[in-house]
Amino acid sequence: MSEIVIPELAESITEGTIAEWLVKEGDSVDEDTPILELETDKVNLEINAEAKGVITEILKPAGTDVVVGDVIGKIGDQETAADSKKAVHEEAQEVEGQTMKNEKQQVAEEPLQQKEKSTEDCHEPKEDEGETSTISEKTHSYIRATPAARKKARELGIDLTDIKSRLQLAPLTKANLEKLHELSQEKETEKAPVEEKQEAASSQHEERVRMSRRRMTIAKRLVDVQRESAMLTTFNEIDLTEVMKLRKERKETFIEQHDVKLGFMSFFTRAVVAALKKFPRLNAEIEGNELILKKYYDIGIAVSAEEGLVVPVLRNADRLDFAGIEKEIKRLSQKSQQNTLAFEDLQGGTFTITNGGVFGSLLSTPILNAPQVGILGMHSIQKRPVAMPDDTIEIRPMMYVALSYDHRIVDGKEAVQFLVMIKQLLEDPYRLLLES
């Protein structure tokens, strides 16, 4: 017999929620067979069996919160499982046999008890000759009823021990029981409109859904960031005419050469890396009374998944060309949609880019992804009239961008200049080859 234990997950993850058991009690499993799905605040992962055998017991059902080291089930060998199953079967047969014996004895005693009761009733004074005898209300567990009445009670789901003298009938017969049930249903029907009205008022437009662990973690971290950082946001707008022109010119050739589309994200990633090199405080974090200035550029790309926002990390983005960035973003996006992101895909990150524009957002204030001190928000591209240097008016594809930053580290001047540099690089995208 071996125990199913929640294993060590990752350095920063110590707990999770059992999302689903992939096996049930009695199932045979091999070593390394997936037996359950565990939901953590970052990813969902499968827990495998550590031994071959049969699932003999599941101690923690789906939906239970667990921590590393918790025993959540047991695996036994085939012989132990067979013996256990045999013992349970024999016990069930024994209980069933005793129940049948008691029922037969009860049925045999009914005529005698009815006869004794009739004799007693003959010597008792009657208050009203027009009334029938009432059901005994003495404290005892046995209710006098015919076998047919007992069968009908089981069919209607009636507990005979709860029946008092509402119909003043004795003994309880099938016809009496049906009448009692009919009157009870009429009474419930009268109550129903009032109860339904009260229920409708409180729950007609409400639905309670348990928050996923990931959603709870996201909520907690977002609140923590706003409480623990001095977050501020600055805005600007970018004319994407040249970027769109370059994408159109290189679209077909880029796909043929690299088997991936040339998107906007690679331009923004290259621009961010170039700006981070010039303004290193936006690529840092606070630890105690010290600043940690990072000399590497791991860019988090915020991706919307079914369970909530996740931020897979683009490692060493400064060493990737346009094609490398687009391929890596595509790979991480696919893993996110398939719910197969690994811990290493999400850990770390020095700066984040989020694109609300894909959902139609025109302007927003992104929240920092702690412990990072900077996040760039992209938005929808809209054609707007723009005043040109020669005072003419042209229709240009414009995008609002937002930079949220931690004012404890980054001054307003740095933040504004950082965003202006990104604007300049994207409005002259050929500079990206030289700057980043």
Per-position b or e across 106-123, b if 16+ CB within 10 A of its CB: eeeebeeeeeeeeeeeee
How many angstroms separate the CA atoms of 23 and 19, rounded?
12
Whether the CB-CB separation of 371 and 285 falls below 8 Å is answered with: yes
Longest dimension (CA), the chain: 120
By CB atoms closer than 10 A (0-12, 13-18, 19+), residue 18 is buried
Is 205 a known active-site residue? no
**Cβ(310)–Cβ(336) below 8 Å:** yes
Answer whether 409's CB lies under 8 Å from 221's CB.
Answer: no
d(CA 426, CA 210): 43
Half-sphere exposure of 92 (CA within 13 A, CB side): 6
Give 60-102 as a DSSP string.
S-TT-EEETT-EEEEEE-HHHHHHHHHHHHHHHHHHHHHHHHH
Contact 262, 247 (CB under 8 A): yes
Cα 12 from Cα 14, distance rounded (Å): 7
The answer to whether residue 258 is catalytic is: no
Dump the DSSP string for 6-46: PPP-BTTB-EEEEEEESS-TT-EE-TT-EEEEEE-SS-EEE
The β-bridge partners of 19 are none
Active-site residue identified among 27, 83, 411, 428: 411
The active-site residue out of 30, 83, 407, 428 is 407
- Separation CA 151–CA 291 (nearest Å): 79
- How far is it, in rounded angstroms, from Cα 29 to Cα 53? 6
Residues annotated as part of the active site: 407, 411
